[in-house]
Amino acid sequence: MKNFNWPIRIYYEDTDAGGVVFYANYLKFFERARTEMLRSKGFEQDELMNNDNIIFAVRSINVDYLSPAHFNEQINVSSEISRLKKVSLIFEQSITRENKVLCKATVTIACLDAKTMRPKVIPPLLRAEFQ
């Protein structure tokens, strides 16, 4: 699955009294971008849950904050699947503003059975698109 780009605008809700984006809110941006990446491949997470009994859960995240984003800026979230395992996958994501990298993340996502919340093998249809 190729690198996927998703533009995001910074609103007041994203910033804090330090004048920059609050550090937890970058995780919202990363999540939005992963959701849109799936959507771009035809996968809607509500349908995956209701029809296929699948949900994705974050198992771990490593974030490096290099330079802050500010109110009203337009940023880009770049997302790529770097590794595809049997029941999990790893995303490499970065946030840039005009080619300057602001923030980088490595995110491990587990595929879970939506009812039991136990690990579930990633279905072939998804696997084919992720590769």
Phi-psi region of 19 (alpha: psi -120 to 50; beta: other; left: phi over 0): left
Among 2, 18, 98, 124, binds its own copies (CB under 8 A): 18
58/2 Cα distance (integer angstroms) = 21
Contact track, its own copies, 67-96, x by CB under 8 A:
-x-xxx------------------------
Among 5, 7, 44, 128, binds its own copies (CB under 8 A): 44
| 1 near its own copies, rule: CB under 8 A | no
Q: How far is the CB of 83 from its own copies (least distance, A)?
A: 17
The answer to whether residue 28 forms part of the interface with its own copies (CB under 8 A) is yes
The residues assigned a catalytic role are: 16
From the list 30-38, 75-83, 86-94, 123-131, the region that binds its own copies by CB under 8 A is 30-38
- How many Å apart are CA 127 and CA 131, to the nearest integer? 6
Residue 58 pairs in a beta bridge with: 109
The dihedrals phi and psi of 13, each to the nearest 5 degrees, come to -55, -25
Q: What b/e string do you get for 7-39 counting C-beta neighbours within 10 Å, with b at 16 or more? A: ebebeeebbeeeebbeeebbbebbeebbbbbbe
Q: Which residues bind its own copies (CB under 8 A)?
A: 9, 11-13, 15-20, 22-25, 27-28, 31-32, 35, 44-46, 55, 57-65, 68, 70-72
